Amino acid sequence: MTFTDFNAEKKDIQRRMEGAVEVLHQEFGGLRTGRAATSLLEPVVVQAYGSEMPMNQVGTVSAPEPRLLTVQVWDKGLVQSVEKAIMESGLGLNPATEGQVVRVPIPTLTEERRQELAKVAGKYAEDARISIRNVRRHAMDDLKKAEKDGDISQDAQRDYSKEVQDLTDQFIAKIDESLGHKEEEIMQV
């Protein structure tokens, strides 16, 4: 492993760590806060045309009011499937149908439910931290192997290891910051 190889390796490590943070943000988008957000229905899948389809492929999701989501279903035959998928999503939502529009009122969250959601957010953040640490562990193993094989010096291995650890610390801090914002958003009444 030469120095230019390490720069390429470092970019790959950074890309993989960014991927873990991106997944965390997607998971946070599906967590319910007191406000209507179209991302709330993104993980919901609808039985349509003999297969499962994401909500955004069977209708237009919008948030016309702070406590209301609407799904404008494109195919009249799928309205009941959309309604059923929302009810069975585990989000605690009760949709009401008006023609081809499914209205989804967002109820206010109880204190107990807010605490449950904060715990779920914490679990998502811990999963992201574990992903980051796994990327670090693989990189450190590669560096130790390169040193053992004589591809890099002991000093270079120590320097590169410090850079990998610094990257890890940066991404863990990003996760902690995102978790803090999400918990604040969830607990906000």
Residues in the chain: 189
Whether 173 and 134 share a structural domain: yes
For the full predicted model, state whether its pTM sits above 0.75: no
Tens of pLDDT, residue by residue, the chain (189 residues):
455 578 888 899 999 999 999 999 888 877 766 667 777 787 788 888 888 888 888 999 988 888 888 999 998 888 899 999 888 877 778 898 998 899 988 877 788 878 888 888 899 999 999 999 999 999 999 999 988 988 888 998 999 999 999 999 999 999 999 999 988 888 876
Q: What is the DSSP string of 57-76?
A: GTEEEEEEETTEEEEEESSG
* Residue 44 CB contacts under 8 Å (≥ 6 apart), including other chains: 54, 55, 85, 86, 89, 91
Where in the sequence is the domain holding 53, given as residue range(s)? 38-105
Q: List the one residue out of 50, 52, 36, 172 whose CA is nearest residue 95.
A: 36
Last residue of one domain, picked from the residues 84, 105, 126: 105
**Contact call for residues 92 and 100 (beta carbons, < 8 A):** no
Last residue of one domain, picked from the residues 65, 82, 105: 105
Two structure tokens written together for 149: 């094989």
Alpha-carbon distance of 66 to 37, in angstroms, equals 8
HSE at residue 69, side-chain half, CA atoms within 13 A, is 26
73 strand-pairing partners? 59
Whether 134 and 178 share a structural domain: yes
What's 97's domain CATH number?
3.30.1360.40
